[in-house]
């Protein structure tokens, strides 16, 4: 990630972010963020850092506070408390210049029924000072064959691609994606993931919310697990819940057919011992470590 911390289109975007050294590395910095709707506390003290060039996934169950958090970062909602800096600015006071550096892919789709894909993308390209070529962007999100189609004729996945096209047409330094693949079939999700990787490779900082574990695992450099309005853990997906250090579960069948299991910090030694005991093959032997799902369920269950 270090090699791509500076987006390719960054000239002229330096001024205004010289408060301290941290600002150059952090795309997002959040401390003590709180937001309540009446008695319902949606975000109960979130701390978060997202580095430039990073793909960061906010993972959590429905109602955990993902969308509220992200919409505060996007400048859509006002917070009750906490400090928030996004690209060096407080999003509560978003100005057009800041808006032109931030791309947003919202949850909703299907907004411009009467227009074609090309018309919508071209129209939005006019909003940005340094917009990308609309035709190129349409091609990039995989809608090349649909450029002249009215948007209401697109499938769900294609509409989402159009959303992404509108999110990246201004060549953002930072792109927010709110549950981008909800409702996709498996193939469409894989294709979508490729698109996200492609954007990340070009240096765009990406923050996505998802409740799909495999999505967070496939895309994110780091995952923040959010539950009941708090960030429970932030880690690279393979280290989430300390599962690399967790005990391994070894199970096998005894000669009378019953299943034996044992948790062990030294599963190799246990397997060697079992092999010696059975004189070779151990019937029904498996060695497992907690999956991401196990770690995740444990985290959100105990918060």
Query: Minimum Å distance from CB 86 to another protein?
Result: 13
Closest approach of another protein to the CB of residue 295, in Å: 31
Report the DSSP beta bridge partners of residue 286. Answer: 251
Please give the DSSP secondary-structure letter assigned to residue 153: G
Name the residue nearer to another protein (CB basis): 4 or 182: 182
Residue pair 202/8 in contact (Cβ under 8 Å)? The answer is yes
Least distance from another protein to the Cβ atom of residue 126, Å: 4
> Would you tell me which residues interact with another protein (CB under 8 A)?
37, 68, 71, 74-77, 96-97, 99-100, 102, 104, 106-108, 110-116, 118-119, 122-135, 148, 166, 170
- Which residue from 244, 199, 238, 210 is spatially nearest to 222, judged by alpha carbons? 238
Q: Cβ closer to another protein: 129 or 283? A: 129
Structure-derived torsion over alpha carbons of residues 115, 119, 122, 126, reported in degrees to the nearest 10: -60
The C-alpha atoms of residue 127 and residue 276 are separated, in whole angstroms, by: 72
Order the strands of the 248-253 sheet from edge to edge.
Answer: 259-264, 248-253, 286-288
**Nearest approach, Cβ of residue 167 and another protein (Å):** 9
Q: Closer CB to another protein, residue 171 or residue 243?
A: 171
Minimum CB distance to another protein, residue 106 (Å): 6
Contact assessment for residue 150 and residue 113, using Cβ atoms and an 8 Å cutoff: yes
Dihedral class, residue 142 (left if φ above 0, else alpha if ψ from -120 to 50, else beta)? left
Nearest CB to another protein, comparing residues 117 and 232: 117
Q: 101 or 189: whose CB is closer to another protein?
A: 101
């Amino acid at each position: 990630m270090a090699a791509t911390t500076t987006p390719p289109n960054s000239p002229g975007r330096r001024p205004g972010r010289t408060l301290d050294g941290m600002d150059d590395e952090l795309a997002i910095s959040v401390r003590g963020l709180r937001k309540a709707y009446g008695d319902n506390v949606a975000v109960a003290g979130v701390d978060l850092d997202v580095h430039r060039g990073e793909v960061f996934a906010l993972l959590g169950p429905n109602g955990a506070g993902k969308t509220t958090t992200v919409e505060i970062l996007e400048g859509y909602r006002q917070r009750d408390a906490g400090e928030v800096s996004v690209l060096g600015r407080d999003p509560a006071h978003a100005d057009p210049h800041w808006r032109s550096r931030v791309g947003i892919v919202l949850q909703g789709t299907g907004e411009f029924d009467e227009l074609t894909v090309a018309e919508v993308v071209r129209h939005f390209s006019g909003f940005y000072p340094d917009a990308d070529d609309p035709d190129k962007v349409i091609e990039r999100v995989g809608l090349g064959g649909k450029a002249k189609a009215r948007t209401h004729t697109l499938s769900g996945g294609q509409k989402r691609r159009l959303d992404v096209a509108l999110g990246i047409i201004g060549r953002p330094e930072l792109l927010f994606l709110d549950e981008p693949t909800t409702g996709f079939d498996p193939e469409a999700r894989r294709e979508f993931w490729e698109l996200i990787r492609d954007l990340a490779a070009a240096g765009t900082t990406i923050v996505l919310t998802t409740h799909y574990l495999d999505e967070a695992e496939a895309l994110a450099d780091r995952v923040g697990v959010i539950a009941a309005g708090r960030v429970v853990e932030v880690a690279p997906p393979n280290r989430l819940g300390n599962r690399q250090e967790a005990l391994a579960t070894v199970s096998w069948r005894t000669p009378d057919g019953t299943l034996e299991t044992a948790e062990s910090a030294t599963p190799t030694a246990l397997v060697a011992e079992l092999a010696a005991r059975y004189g070779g093959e151990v019937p029904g032997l498996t060695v497992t470590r907690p999956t991401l799902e196990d770690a995740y369920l444990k985290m959100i269950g105990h918060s």
